[in-house]
Structure 1
Amino acid sequence: MNIAFFLLPKKEVVCLKAESTIRQTLEKMEFHRYTAVPVLDEKGRYVKTITEGDLLWKIKNTDQLSFQTSERFYIKDIEVNRDYQPVHIDAEMEDLMSLVAVQNFVPVVDDNEIFIGIIRRMDIIEYFNKKGSLK
């Protein structure tokens, strides 16, 4: 099976720019009620996934950083706790399954490493559940 079947295209995915501030990130995550969001560079390449936990640890461990000062700090400078590995659009289902087992979603990139969307774990589970493969 081609993994593109499960792709949620970039235009439907909330993403952040690496140059986003911590405040912008917190506000976007709160508005969309997401706990993790892909981060892209200026060329649209996938950089990392930032999580609520990454933000909390950064705030806790950085002097002078609070919600009030968070517009002066950028997510490009945050180390992430978990490395959300992307897959290429031509990846095999086996590659996808090993990642989706430990990630809520898997970022998908093209041959030029440009982010093209995500594959959500829930979509895969629902697909196989409907096919009867999980019963």
Structure 2
Amino acid sequence: MNIAFLLTPKNEVIYEYIDATMRQVIERMEHHGYTAIPLIDKHGRYVGTLTEGDLLWKLKNTANLNFKNTENVKVSEIAIRTKHKSVSINADVESIIRLATTQNFVPVVDDEGIFIGIIKRSDIINYCYNAIKKDKKIL
């Protein structure tokens, strides 16, 4: 079964461009209460997921960096410590379950690598729960 029915489309997702500043990302993540955010390039391609941990490590390991001057740091200058894998819109549900064990969401791209949305871990869990409930009729 195709994953499109689980997709939260890009227009409903909070993401950021790779040329944004560290401060913009921090404020966006705080405002929405997220611990990770997908990053895209100027062409709309998914380039990675930035986490709170990535931001903290940058802050810790950069001399004289504080919240006020994070507006001078581009997101592209922040090391992304964990590679969050994306999947094609043509992937099946089974292929995203393993990714969801280590990622809060799974980024979804089209055949050109263009970011088209995410599949949230909670939606995957609900899908699996409903499938088990339907098949077992005991839950």
- TM-score band w.r.t. shorter chain: over 0.9
- Give the AA of the match of 1:69: N
Q: Which residue pairs with 1:97 in the alignment?
A: 97
Any unmatched runs of 5+ in structure 1? none
Distance, in Å, in 2 between the alignment partners of 1:66 and 1:18 is 20
Q: Does 1:50 align with 2:50?
A: yes
Cα offsets for 1:74-96 (capped at 9, x unmatched): 11111112111000001122221
Distance, in Å, in 2 between the alignment partners of 1:33 and 1:92 is 29
Cα offsets for 1:46-84 (capped at 9, x unmatched): 011001110001000001211011000011111112111
SS of the residue 1:68 aligns to: helix
Instruction: Please report the RMSD computed on the Cα atoms of aligned residues, expressed in angstroms.
Output: 1.3
Larger Rg: 2
SS of the residue 2:67 aligns to: coil
- The within-5 A match list for 1:9-88 is 9-88=9-88
Distance, in Å, in 2 between the alignment partners of 1:84 and 1:128 is 21
SS of the residue 2:94 aligns to: helix
Give the TM-score, by structure 2 length: 0.92
Distance, in Å, in 2 between the alignment partners of 1:46 and 1:71 is 23
Distance, in Å, in 1 between the alignment partners of 2:63 and 2:38 is 26
Distance, in Å, in 2 between the alignment partners of 1:126 and 1:97 is 12
Give the TM-score, by structure 1 length: 0.95
Distance, in Å, in 2 between the alignment partners of 1:73 and 1:80 is 14
Distance, in Å, in 2 between the alignment partners of 1:62 and 1:44 is 29
Percent pairwise identity: 50
Distance, in Å, in 1 between the alignment partners of 2:91 and 2:48 is 19
Distance, in Å, in 2 between the alignment partners of 1:32 and 1:93 is 27
Distance, in Å, in 1 between the alignment partners of 2:92 and 2:2 is 7
Any unmatched runs of 5+ in structure 2? none
The answer to which of 122-131 and 49-58 deviates more is 122-131
Distance, in Å, in 2 between the alignment partners of 1:95 and 1:129 is 17
- Give the AA of the match of 2:68: Q
Number of residue equivalences: 135
Distance, in Å, in 1 between the alignment partners of 2:62 and 2:52 is 15
